[in-house]
Structure 1
């Protein structure tokens, strides 16, 4: 069984690593926000408050990227990010239009969870209470998430008695947009692509498949299977199994 290091020993080893960084990198790390504010464990405190999990060669590591670590949380973030383990790089992309002087935000948890679950996680993990617009609206925002789940269940029903329509897909996309979940719209766009394709509208199918692929690339990188899947629909909607499957219902 692996020996668990004591708090003191963890701090010692982390400080050895930090002290070997170039001075600018060391200063950038130590100037990041902390949770407990205890200078005797500052290396661990910074790590706890600012880490991103990244899998390198099958092993999970905790990485700190000083620039992106300074981005604040929002349950309706205007940006989306992904980690590239091959390049040890943290990419951040705008998920919607961002005005001049508007703060760039990311989400520290899944915005698709109910607001009580999001708030509980953020409080336990980062010791702050989220007061974003979606959390302030609370139950009203949760009601929209329930609608989103219901519409998605309808759209993934491919049996002959399915009630899925183009209007259902349009409403799903609209609800995501109303909640400002632009960086998490891959499911919405993807289902819209398949729905339009199932009714024979290839141009709309291509449009939404391209949008789904773009969101997947922002979230998980362009090399994942989901990106390839939506990219394939965008390039050849008529070659996809969903093509015109609902035309004669």
Structure 2
């Protein structure tokens, strides 16, 4: 029988994943009236475009991955660079799904073997359960429809992987007009234009010309200043620590800048960080306010199934 999903991992992990209860449930299917269409672009290849107006927080698309790969899996170089390993793995898919896979973009051209290039161009990081040993492992997934969405440094959609249904999902982070391109994030948002462009060129082989990257010099410098200020806070956010001079007023300013820059995911994370700061400062009314705002923001980003709502 043809496989619905190819999983590249150690055998013990594959056996464990195959026993998950979620495979006994019907596969989630998108609504019949999809709010988007896929179109050819004169400059970007395929693109995802809104076929009607889309409301903030609305589920735009969902699908299960075609390929899931453990990112640190060891593959002999002669089997990886020549594509032998991947051809063998993908042979389990139906002919239609293999054609779908082969229709996807390889941004690396002749630099990489075609199958390797397609995976490296289109896969995105997804959270998966730890290995049977209990050690967390990094995985990537290839979603054949979702990967058609192009990058923007201020995207109008957020990618969320729902482990309950094993689906990748796009949710609108702001209202999207009919005919507007639906975009997501490929690179680090809280970085300067030069840094973002360098990362995108290295990993995806294109120079970003989004609205933010196309700002005139003075406005681009102002945008970079805002993004760097938010980026400087990210290590503290991950550690859950607060500088001695961190104030509610400064958090408010960063929240305003995240809104101006269209950094909705970081806006939500700043609210959580601000909640912790308000608790530390015994400002419980402010903490409750930011807690409610964070819950609303994560519901927009991920939908009602967001694990960050618990």
Q: TM-score, normalised by structure 1?
A: 0.71
Q: Is the 8 A contact 1:169 1:195 kept in 2?
A: no
Paired with 1:149 and 1:113, the residues of 2 have a C-alpha distance of: 7
Structure 1 residue 3 displacement after superposition: 6.2
Change (3 A) 1:15 1:120: same
Map 1:34-49; keep pairs closer than 5 Å.
34-38=106-110, 41-49=113-121
- 3-state SS of 1:122 partner: helix
Q: Is the 8 A contact 2:127 2:161 kept in 1?
A: no
Paired with 1:208 and 1:33, the residues of 2 have a C-alpha distance of: 41
Give the corresponding residue for 2:78.
6
- The structure with higher relative contact order (CA 8 Å, sep 6+) is 2
Give the corresponding residue for 1:111.
189
Q: Which is helix-richer, 1 or 2? A: 1
Q: Is the 8 A contact 2:190 2:230 kept in 1?
A: no
**Unaligned stretches of 5+ residues in structure 2:** 1-73
Q: Is the 8 A contact 1:75 1:107 kept in 2?
A: yes
Report which of the two structures shows the higher radius of gyration computed on alpha carbons: 1
Q: Which is strand-richer, 1 or 2? A: 2
Map 1:8-87; keep pairs closer than 5 Å.
10-38=82-110, 41-56=113-128, 57=131, 58-85=136-163, 87=165
- 3-state SS of 1:185 partner: helix
RMSD of the TM alignment (CA)?
Answer: 3.5
Give the corresponding residue for 1:223.
307
Change (3 A) 1:209 1:31: same
Map 1:1-249; keep pairs closer than 5 Å.
4-6=76-78, 10-38=82-110, 41-56=113-128, 57=131, 58-85=136-163, 87-137=165-215, 138-148=220-230, 162=245, 164-165=247-248, 167-193=249-275, 200=283, 202=285, 205-216=287-298, 218=301, 222-223=306-307, 227-228=309-310
**Unaligned stretches of 5+ residues in structure 1:** 229-249
State the aligned residue count.
Answer: 219
Structure 1 residue 173 displacement after superposition: 1.6
Structure 1 residue 141 displacement after superposition: 1.4
Structure 1 residue 207 displacement after superposition: 4.1
Q: Is the 8 A contact 1:173 1:192 kept in 2?
A: no
Q: Is the 8 A contact 1:122 1:128 kept in 2?
A: yes
Q: TM-score, normalised by structure 2?
A: 0.59
Structure 1 residue 92 displacement after superposition: 1.9
